[in-house]
Structure formats: structure tokens, C-alpha cells
Amino acid sequence: MDLQVVEQLGRLDALVGEGGVVVLSGAGLSTDSGIPDYRGPSGSARRSTPMTYQTFTGDPVARRRYWARSHLGWRTIGGARPNDGHRAVARLQGSGLVDGVITQNVDGLHQAAGARDVIELHGNLARIVCLDCGALSGRDELEERLTAANPGFAAVATTINPDGDVELDDAEVAGFAVVDCRACGGVLKPDVVYFGETVPADRVAGAFGLLQQARTLLILGSSLTVMSGRRFVLRAVRDGIRVAIVNRGVTRGEPYADLVIDAPLGVILPNLSINADSTARLPS
């Protein structure tokens, strides 16, 4: 760790040690768990266009392609485990320094590490929703059904994308069988926000409610390229809330930040040496 990063870590220690921190995490927090990010140094060079809600619901062929790719991708996403960064966030929350966690990730690793009441802006790949009747079910159950419906499916995953699917040639997915809702026969979809969808209003309201009481908004592993995350930075600046960023590479939040650390999250977060008995519970 070079001297500049050591100095920045000390400044982050001081900010976090005051408590009242709200974390906003992005894909960069999960790279050490084997899930690539979108735009950072370990990001996947995606060749295909991300699935949109309109394409998924309107094109059965595209929907079959998605499920074949996602079926293989789940072996990585579903098997991923929290890393030191996730555990550090849970530890900070448990100590009373972090008041809430907002994540753009769909991997559920914050909760697996012990974080509580996480606001999942974009949903969670482990849940499946029926677009016709609204029934929710678990991903493991769906994977068993897809495996049973496709006994000869022998495609091999190459590049996995952060949203849980993989790169496959169309010829490899041509015969893949999609399964429908057991309750009503309707179309099943991961309970995540696709491109072309909006984040549910109650999630956004809950996230802004958390931020309203914060001293510091701590951004972890997000380039803040899309407004889904960047709007919280803009709100924090408007309301006089400090912004600290830990991320590999450039982020669009840098012009608004009080502190920016360009370093691996798995190095920075476990090395925070804050004291849970500091000023965390003092009134703002």
C-alpha cells in the first residue's frame, strides 16, 4: 500500500468513525468473489447487448437464449461467496457505524456476509417472478426444473457477465427448453430490473430515506455511470452530506466527492481501523 493510499485510508477511517454512514455498492465490490464488474479493470468484454425488458417479454427466441445463458451463468453466481469487502461492510453495520446498505448488485452477497435490511435497487437473481400471476419462487427450484427439461444440454460457459448470463453461440441454445410458472403457466423472469425497466418507486424512496439521515455516503465499487446510482450522489451533495468513493478506476462521482480512493476494495475495507465506540451514536 503506497503512502498516498495510506493517507487516504486514514481520512476514510476518520469519516467512517463518526458513524452515520450509508453504503452504496456496485459491481466492483463483488469482483473478488469471482463475479466480473461492468467497466472496471476486471470487467467482462461483453459482446452481446444486455437483455431489455421489452425484448425478454416480446421475443420468445430471445427469452430462450437468455435462459440458456443464465442457466449456465448461475453456476458461478449461485456459487459465489462473500469476500473481505462484503464482510467488512457487515462488520461496520454491526458496529453501528453503517446505518444502511444500498446495492446495485443482484448477487445477494451483502446478505450472505451478514448485512441486514439491504436495499437491492436492481433486485436479486436468486428470486424468480411470474410476469402473469406475480408468484415468487426460488432460483434453485427453477434450476432443477431447467436441468430436468434439458438433459442433453452440454454447452460450456466461457465469458460470464455481471448480470449472471454467459456468452454462447446461438447454435448452442437452439434446442434449449424454457419452463413456465407452475402456478399459472405464465412467463418466468429473474426478479431483477432489466434495461428498459425502472427501479420500483418504494426501493428508491427507501434509499433516499436512508440517505436523508446520513453523515457520509460511501460509494464502494461503482463507476456511477448510470443515473440509478449517481442520483444518490447528487442528492447527497445537494443536502450537504459528505461523499467518499472507493473504486478501481474513474467514476462519474469524482467531481462531487470529498474523498476518492483508487485502490482494491479487498485491501481498503478490511484495513479500516475504526472504533465502534467512537462518535457513531452521537446526534447529527
Is 43 assigned to a binding site? yes
Residue 106 annotated as part of some ligand binding site: yes
Q: Closest Cα to residue 109, out of 52, 269, 165, 101?
A: 101
Residue 284 marked ligand-binding? no
Do 103 and 121 form a contact (C-beta atoms < 8 A)? yes
59 marked ligand binding residue = no
Q: Any binding-site annotation on 216?
A: no
Residue 223 marked ligand-binding:
yes
Cβ-based neighbours of 134, under 8 Å, separated by 6 or more: none
Where does residue 225 rank: exposed (0-12), middle (13-18), buried (19+ CB within 10 A)? middle
Q: Is 131 annotated as a binding residue?
A: no
Active site residues: 122
- Interatomic CA distance for residues 40 and 262, integer angstroms: 11
Q: What is the DSSP letter of 178?
A: P
Asked whether residue 26 is marked as a ligand-binding residue, the answer is: yes
Relative to beta strand 21-25, strand 123-130 is unpaired
Residue 196, annotated as binding a ligand: no
- Give the H or E element holding residue 129: strand 123-130
28 is in an annotated binding site: yes
44 is known to lie in a ligand binding site: yes
- Angle at CA of residue 104, ends 83 and 75, nearest 5°: 55
Question: What cell was used for 245?
Answer: 468513493
Cα distance between residue 258 and residue 203, in whole Å: 26
Give the span between the Cα atoms of 38 and 44, in whole angstroms.
Answer: 6
Is residue 185 a known part of a binding site?
Answer: no
245 is in an annotated binding site: no
Binding site, annotated residues = 26-46, 104-107, 130, 133, 181, 184, 221-223, 247-249, 265
Binding site, annotated residues for NAD(+) = 26-46, 104-107, 221-223, 247-249, 265
